[in-house]
Amino acid sequence: MTLMQKFLGAAAGLALTAGAAFAEPALVYDLGGKFDKSFNEAAFAGAQRWAEETGGTFREIEMQSEAQREQALRRFAESGANPVITTGFAFSSALEVVAPDYPDTTFVTIDGWVDAPNVKVIGFTEHEGSYLVGMLAAEASKTGTVGFIGGMDIPLIRKFACGYAQGVKAVNPDATIISNMTGTTPAAWNDPVKGSELTKAQISQGADVVYAAAGGTGVGVLQTAADEGILSIGVDSNQNHLHPGKVLTSMLKRVDVAVYESMKAGDALEGGVEVLDLANGGVGYAMDENNADLVTEAMKTPVDAAAASIASGDIVVHDYTSDDSCPALSF
């Protein structure tokens, strides 16, 4: 018996014992909840799209605590789910421990980093999309002061803030940018009350446009901005519909596409690194009937020109995570 015959025989045996479960993907949401109207919900939308188009089913679980991360990964891997998709950088540590124990399972980390042959790392150029909405914020602002509210204070969120600040400064070099982070623990992703308080504080300092990159906390930011009569900017999913005519735009981070494509590949998905950027449609800004009256053609034209220049490489937006510094904003 050749080595290939042994391999095929073993694979057939595994398929018989595990059944169809091998073809069923799993999705593990980060803290903040499946319906956070942002990051996790974008992941769910991608999974739903895959299920509707294929007739397939997927498994899912919402994290309630940090301790559940490793447990959930092992449970899905042992049950034969493949691939097992995780949302958020915080899964990196658990994946580093779990992935080597299940070499025949492909794990996906969206926003995380794990160097393992059976882990697919999917990242985004959030700084590029944030640059575009920063331009729109500066164009829309009447006070010359705009705000940024992040979730957990980590390099990834500073990457959003730094790109945003660069876009603001590209339009108005004299603009004032107020930046606040909600907290330093994962609870910062799901604290709309704190998001509201930070928004009111920024308004008191003159901000009339506020960009939230804070998961479920951002719901409080957008609500308060609408209540107080200023404009907000959503993130990850298109959040324009949450407060029609009051959300200037949303920075789109196509987490839905990352999940959809991973599920579509199924157990044929391989490890490696993939970056979704402005050039391949991984990030962008949202326009629809809910913000059509807020963004004029005169505002869109320079933003779209900048997008084309970023995609071609003519404009390079500094990535905070490349050197832990930002030329347009101090943290």
Q: Which of 92, 116, 111, 107 is nearest to 267 (CA)?
A: 107
**Is there a shared CATH topology between the 20-125+256-276 domain and the 126-252+283-323 domain?**
yes
Please check whether the domain covering 20-125+256-276 is classified as CATH 3.40.47.10: no
Specify the pLDDT at position 23: 59
Mean pLDDT of all residues belonging to the chain: 92
CA dist 249 and 288 (Å) reads 9
| Helices and strands, number each (H, E), in the chain | 11, 12
Predicted confidence (pLDDT) per residue in 56-72, tens digit: 999 999 988 888 999 99
For residue 76, give both structure tokens. Answer: 């899905």
Predicted confidence (pLDDT) per residue in 135-194, tens digit: 999 999 999 999 999 999 999 999 999 999 999 999 999 999 999 999 999 899 999 999
Domain limits, the chain: 20-125+256-276, 126-252+283-323
Local confidence band at 33 (pLDDT 50, 70, 90 cut-offs): confident
Query: What average pLDDT does the segment 283-312 reach?
Result: 98
Which SS3 state, helix, strand or coil, does residue 178 take? Answer: strand
Specify the pLDDT at position 8: 33
Local confidence band at 98 (pLDDT 50, 70, 90 cut-offs): very high
Which SS3 state, helix, strand or coil, does residue 59 take? Answer: strand
Beta bridge partners of 252: 236, 284
CA dist 151 and 188 (Å) reads 5
Q: Taking the model in full, what pTM does it have?
A: 0.88
Predicted confidence (pLDDT) per residue in 99-110, tens digit: 999 999 999 999
Which SS3 state, helix, strand or coil, does residue 96 take? Answer: helix
Domain 126-252+283-323: which CATH number of 3.90.1150.10, 3.90.550.10, 3.40.50.2300, 3.40.50.150: 3.40.50.2300
